[in-house]
Amino acid sequence: MRLAGKTAIITGAGAGIGEAIALRFAEEGARLVLNDIAAGAGDTALKKLKDLGAQAVLAVADISQESEARKIAECAVANFGTIDILVNNAADFTQKSVENAGIADWQKVLGVNVIGTALVSKFAIPHMKAKGGSIVNVASMSGLIAQPDFATYNASKGAVVTMTKCMALDLAPYNIRVNSICPVCILTSASYREIERLGLTFEEWRDRVAPLHMLNRLGEPREVANAALFLASEEASFITSTHLMVDGGYTGR
């Protein structure tokens, strides 16, 4: 097992990509600290993991708040004594143009996607320095390209990509590797919210979006989880400060 004996924190683990990462890490023997802002979603994911025999606990917290972000690292150390892996997956999906976004929109999306990622990392890093580890930031291909009426979200994910490189440089002396993964159209609950926002049926949305990818289909959460597993594991021991595209060839055209 690639993560046997390792303790991993996964934020936004109650559903979608975060839950898929938690399940994949459990298959590889990790001890898990799940974070979600919603207790209900977190409890559901926790039950799935425990049914599989995984060692897992839940830390309900709003990562955009410093005192709550601190509790996640404290939970990991209290239950498992160490932190080896951090996956910053929690995200806000506010998608608006600069013209249409208000200050509350910017504060919300930056508060979770940028400040939240920074805060959870801040409190986990001291527990990783002694023996090294891996941080995987879930960014997005949206952080690397322009999309119509997506300025808030794309700006926040672009910041995550750049922050990843800065963290990698600062933490390299401690053998802490920091990388990001950049998914594209992965079929999650966020996809269905986007479909509703656009006023389309699922089939209409799929037929519009799938051909944008070289592979001509949508991605699955487990496919992103496999990428996170690789970067978190020792198989990626000489990889840091990079962003791994999990986009079916979207950005390669």
Contact 180, 187 (CB under 8 A): no
The order of strands in the sheet holding 31-36 is 56-60, 31-36, 7-10, 85-88, 133-138, 176-183, 243-246
Q: Which of 153, 174, 192, 250 is catalytic?
A: 153
Q: DSSP of the chain, one letter per residue?
A: -TTTT-EEEETTTTSHHHHHHHHHHHHTT-EEEEEES-HHHHHHHHHHHHHTT--EEEEE--TTSHHHHHHHHHHHHHHHS---EEEE---------TTT--HHHHHHHHIIIIIIHHHHHHHHHHHHTTT-EEEEEE--GGGTS--TT-HHHHHHHHHHHHHHHHHHHHHGGGTEEEEEEEE-SB-SHHHHHHHHHHT--HHHHHHHHGGGSTT-S-B-HHHHHHHHHHHHSGGGTT--S-EEEESTTGGG-
Could you give the count of Cα atoms lying within 13 Å of 72 in the half-sphere of its Cβ?
37
250 is catalytic: no
The residues that are catalytic are 153
